[in-house]
């Protein structure tokens, strides 16, 4: 692999180049690294490389003419990468692609970055090492250099270790242990000293799944999982945030067709579908707020039919889902019920398609880490303004960047639960 690093601070890389595996790889010619300093391409007496930003603002911007000349000086630059927090996040799959390219030029900005015309003129691939801001691209280039160099054949002592670790299979790595077998009262897991390689492999895979589920459940989507993995995941006890989540389907006060607040009647399909979705996502319960006496009676007989009557005998799954549901006459009664069940007043998150909300969906997940949450969904033309005013947060419409947001409430609730809990919680 041959890497050229364009940087104002080549000395920044000294210790890495003379340490451990990287030093050996350079010595053996497995990796070649050279440097281009843009300051060598400045044309004034002070070797100026930067200037004030057009439009004002703090800091300085690296000049396109100076950086451009520095880039032109690189012979056969290969894939050209600019390290910037605005870039594509560096992950193992990108590291693999960059390593496979074999020839890279890494461009490190300093100050407020490099004039944007350089990026356009050279078609640089922007890469970021995380959602934080470093003082320059050098530390990020080091990460990229190390992540790609270790995938180069001959870099590691044993060929396969670069690909055996965290992220290679899309999962976090299993925990590692070494001697002593017992340390401060903590023993190495017995399976690892059993000598049974089949069991060790199985244990390691399950630990990888366990660690990934606990720390980075987002990775599971892209990981190559087989049937055995999925069964193992099912067996692992996990933090089920849904257990603290209650859904409240509000029939009053909601907006009517004419824009005034009022009460609307039940929709059988809503009760069925929402309870099934709530059961699937492991919710604590569903409260149906309905003040109209005849509608409450309807709810009670519907629930009785499916929970205890002929419906339950014919369809036990439906009975299980509908057993989550209970009625309440008012929103206050629903809140009091959840408070009584959990011992804490729930955080109240209201939904609306009308654009009034500014609470992000991910915030509800954060609330759930702290305590129970009651998610309000309005029937009719949506929750009345007084309900939104009294809530602890009003969520953004599900499609807040689009104009059309008119989904049936049961569809909106299904999407909302998936957005809050996904498939991991
Ligand atoms: N330069 C400054 N911050 C950076 C980051 N997070 N990733 C890549 N380059 C950077």
Q: Model confidence at 369, in pLDDT bands (50, 70, 90)?
A: very high
pLDDT of 111: 81
pLDDT of 355: 83
Q: Is the pTM of this model over 0.85?
A: yes
Quick one: average pLDDT of 95-110? 97
How far is it, in rounded angstroms, from Cα 85 to Cα 134? 8
Q: Which of 391, 395, 387 is nearest to 413 (CA)?
A: 395
pLDDT of 161: 56
Whether pLDDT at 322 is above 60: yes
Q: What is the pLDDT of residues 4-34, one digit of tens each?
A: 999 999 999 999 999 999 999 999 999 999 9
Q: Model confidence at 163, in pLDDT bands (50, 70, 90)?
A: low
How far is it, in rounded angstroms, from Cα 405 to Cα 398? 7
Ligand 1 site residues, Cβ closer than 6 angstroms: 83-85, 128-130, 132-134, 137, 140
In the sheet that holds 285-289, the strands lie side by side as: 325-328, 285-289, 245-250, 373-378, 347-350, 393-394
pLDDT of 356: 79
pLDDT of 364: 98
pLDDT of 169: 84
Asked if residues 31 and 98 have their Cβ atoms less than 8 Å apart, the reply is no
Closest ligand 1 atom number to CA of residue 127:
8
Closest ligand 1 atom number to CA of residue 135:
2
Residue nearest to atom 6 of ligand 1 (CA): 85
CB within 8 Å of 173: residues ≥ 6 apart: 165, 166, 208, 211
The terminus-to-terminus CA distance of the chain in angstroms comes to 42
Q: What is the pLDDT of residues 227-280, one digit of tens each?
A: 999 999 999 999 999 999 999 999 999 999 999 999 999 999 999 999 999 999
Q: Which of 85, 130, 131, 147 to mutate to test the pocket of ligand 1 (most atoms within 8 A of CB)?
A: 85
Q: Model confidence at 165, in pLDDT bands (50, 70, 90)?
A: low
Q: Which of 367, 363, 353, 356 is nearest to 398 (CA)?
A: 353
Q: Which of 133, 135, 138, 147 to mutate to test the pocket of ligand 1 (most atoms within 8 A of CB)?
A: 133
pLDDT of 4: 99
Name 187's bridge partners.
182
Quick one: average pLDDT of 309-337? 97
Q: Model confidence at 418, in pLDDT bands (50, 70, 90)?
A: very high
Task: Report DSSP state, residue 94.
Answer: H
81 C-alpha to ligand 1 centroid (Å):
12
DSSP string, 374-423: EEEEE-TTSB-HHHHHHSSEEBPPTTTTSS-----HHHHHHHHHHHHHTT
Q: What is the pLDDT of residues 290-304, one digit of tens each?
A: 999 999 999 999 999
Extended beta strands in 52-178, E state: 61-62, 79-89, 103-108, 125-128
Name 110's bridge partners.
136
326 C-alpha to ligand 1 centroid (Å):
52
């Amino acid at each position: 692999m041959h890497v050229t690093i364009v940087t104002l601070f080549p000395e920044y890389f000294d210790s890495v180049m003379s340490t451990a595996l990287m030093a050996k790889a350079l010595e053996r010619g497995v990796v070649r690294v050279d440097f281009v300093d843009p300051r060598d391409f400045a044309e004034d007496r002070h070797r100026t490389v930067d200037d004030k930003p057009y439009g004002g603002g703090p800091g300085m911007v690296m000049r396109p003419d100076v950086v451009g000349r520095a880039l032109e000086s690189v012979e056969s630059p290969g894939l050209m990468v600019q390290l910037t927090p605005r870039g594509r996040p560096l992950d193992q799959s990108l590291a693999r692609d960059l390593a496979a390219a074999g020839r890279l030029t890494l461009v490190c900005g300093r100050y407020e970055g490099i004039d944007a015309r350089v990026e356009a003129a050279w078609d640089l691939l922007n890469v970021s090492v995380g959602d934080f801001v470093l003082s320059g691209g050098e530390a990020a280039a080091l990460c990229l250099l190390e992540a790609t160099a270790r995938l180069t054949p001959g870099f590691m002592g044993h060929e396969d270790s670069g690909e055996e670790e965290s992220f290679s299979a899309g999962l976090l790595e299993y925990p590692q242990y070494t001697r002593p077998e017992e340390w401060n009262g903590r023993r190495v897991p017995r399976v690892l000293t059993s000598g049974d390689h089949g069991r060790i492999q199985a244990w390691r895979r399950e630990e990888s799944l366990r660690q990934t589920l606990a720390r980075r459940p987002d990775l599971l989507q892209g990981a190559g999982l087989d049937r055995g993995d999925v069964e193992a995941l099912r067996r692992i006890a996990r933090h089920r945030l849904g257990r603290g989540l209650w859904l409240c389907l509000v029939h009053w006060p909601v907006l009517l067709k004419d824009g005034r607040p009022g009460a609307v009647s039940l929709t059988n399909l809503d009760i069925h579908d929402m309870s099934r979705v709530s059961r699937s996502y492991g919710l604590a319960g569903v409260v149906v707020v309905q003040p109209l006496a005849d509608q409450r009676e309807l709810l009670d007989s519907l629930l009785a039919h499916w929970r205890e009557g002929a419906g339950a005998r014919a369809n036990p799954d439906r009975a299980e889902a509908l057993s989550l549901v209970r009625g309440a006459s008012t929103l206050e009664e629903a809140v009091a019920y959840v408070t009584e069940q959990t011992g804490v007043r729930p955080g109240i998150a209201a939904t609306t398609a009308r654009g009034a909300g500014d609470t992000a969906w991910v915030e509800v997940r954060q609330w759930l880490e702290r305590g129970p949450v009651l998610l309000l969904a309005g029937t009719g033309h949506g929750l009345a303004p007084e309900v939104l005013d009294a809530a602890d947060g009003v969520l953004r419409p599900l499609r807040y960047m689009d104009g059309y947001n008119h989904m049936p409430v049961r569809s909106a609730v299904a999407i909302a639960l998936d957005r809050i809990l996904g498939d991991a919680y």
